[in-house]
Structure formats: structure tokens, C-alpha cells
Structure 1
Amino acid sequence: MKSILLVLTACTLVFYSCTNATEQALTENEKETLAQEVETTINKMMDGMKNIDVEAAFESNFLMDENFRYVDIYGKTLKKDAFRKAAHGVFDNVEKIEFEFTTPIIRIIDRKVAVVNLTYSGKYYFPGSTLAWSPCGSTLVLQKIDNEWKVIHFHESIQESEFVTTDL
């Protein structure tokens, strides 16, 4: 009886250690491969923005679920529907767009999470008016879901503000 109990205890410990094994650290090659995958998603987003295509820029690259959040340049947090409305409000009414993007800085957190930082500036040409802005910093959090990288959080901020440029 003691031997059966000992075997059962040993099997339980082996099973428990296998199911709770920590994920192995990423190799540099794995990080590079994952970063390239993330960069592909970011490039699709930037191309969609340049081509005035909300679907290609955001909707196909963002996980538009109830947990999605966008923090706009004014610090206001928008959920998916408000973000869609804001994006369409600009992209559906603009005639031409010019963007300049920096090279994305990609940090791979693990096999399923990445953080991307980039800066861009641009100009929107609306019928009868033009809107240009100074460099805008962006932070995007991406999650790999069903073998695709999706933006789950997007935060933008204008790099130059009255506070920064005012002589105190």
C-alpha cells in the first residue's frame, strides 16, 4: 500500500511540474522573428493610413473587442466604437493625407505580447482646409491571437505642447 501511495505521489508531482513549467526564455533569433511579424502588422497599419483606408489601417490590425482602448492626443480614453467613429470622422472626409513615420521600436515581451513605439507627423487635406500637426508619439500594445498580431491598446500624444514650448 505504501509503495502504491509513493508511486501516486511521485506521478502527481511529475504531472504537476510538467503542467506548471515556466515558459522558456526567447532566443535572440526568436525575438527577431517575432519582431519581424510585428513590424509587418505595423507596416500594414501605416500603409492603410497613407492610403486613407480605415479598414487596412486599423480595423484589420486591431482587436476591436470590449477590452480595446485608445488614448487620444488629448488624454481621452476611447473604447472601440468611439475609436471607430473618430477614425472614420477623419478618414472618410479627407481628400489627401501625408505622413512621415519613424522606424518603429519593437520590444518583444514574450511569444504573444509586444510593445511598439513610433513617432509620426502629417498633414490632412480636407475640402477647403488643411490640418498639419507636429510629431505625435504612439505606443501600441500587440497580442498574438490565432497566429496574428493585433493591436489591443493604442496611445498617442503630441510631442510638442504649449507647456513644453512656453518660457516658464
Structure 2
Amino acid sequence: MSGGLRLRMEFRGPELPLVRALVEEASLRARLPASVRGAFGQAAVEFATDAAARGADPRVVELRSGDGELLCEVTYGGAVPPPGRPEGHGPGLAESLIAGIGAPARIDVRGTPHGTTVTLSAPLPGPLSDPPPGPLPAPSPDPMRTPPATAPPAR
């Protein structure tokens, strides 16, 4: 992949919730629009889940940005699924999610000397789109104050 590395993580099945959280955070920081971020993140997790169930070590997820797109690679030891519809519900769901994003989002599955690499891509917004998420607004200079509590008079 070309461009700026946003995430690289080796994972196993029990770490899938962490994969999900880190993919979501990296997608947010890359400024992937909210309308695309959910589908892209879920598709990445579907392929990572499939890799954890079917693949051999090492299993790696990487996110990079560059050339106007966000790329997510899920790499694992194991054979490439047969041509046509991928095996299992997860990859099929991932294909539907990416198709729902529309062109130019895409999925590429290829064999490597060490196993299989699945690459998801989604377009990033142009420079005049929504600003990237930033820090929370500063508190107001004159915060509301609550008077100190007083005890009722003794009887």
C-alpha cells in the first residue's frame, strides 16, 4: 500500500473487538465521511473475522491513506477463496457493504506467497470537505457555579 500508515496490527480471534475499535478510530482520523465509515469499518471487521476463523498466522490488519483513498488490508496465511462469491457470511456481507458505498469503493482479493491479502478501499473527502475532527471545544470562560450546600439549622 502507498501513503501514510494509520494502523498496523497483528491479531487473533479474541482481539477482534480491538481491531474494530482501531479501524473505526483510524477511519475517523483519516476523515472518512460518517456515511461511509460504518460500512467500511464493518466490512474490514468481517474480513478480519473470516481471517481469524479460517486463516493461519500471522494475521495482520493495516490501514493507509493516500491518493485520495483509505485502504485497509487484511492479510493471513491460507489459500485464496475460490473465484466468485467468497465463502462464508462475513465476506459476502463485506462485499454488500462495500457495494453500498458505491464506486470507487472496491474489494481486491489476491494470493501472496504467504497466504491471502484482502484490500478494501474507500474514497476520502477532498480538501474542502468537512473539517477533520478536532479537540473538544474549550469550556466557557465563566463556568456556572453552584453555591455551597448549607446544613439546615440545628433544633
What TM-score, normalized to structure 2?
A: 0.31
Q: Which has the higher strand share?
A: 1
The two structures have a TM-score, normalised by structure 1, of 0.29
Structure whose residues are more often helix by fraction: 1
Answer 1 or 2: higher relative contact order, Cα 8 Å, separation at least 6: 2
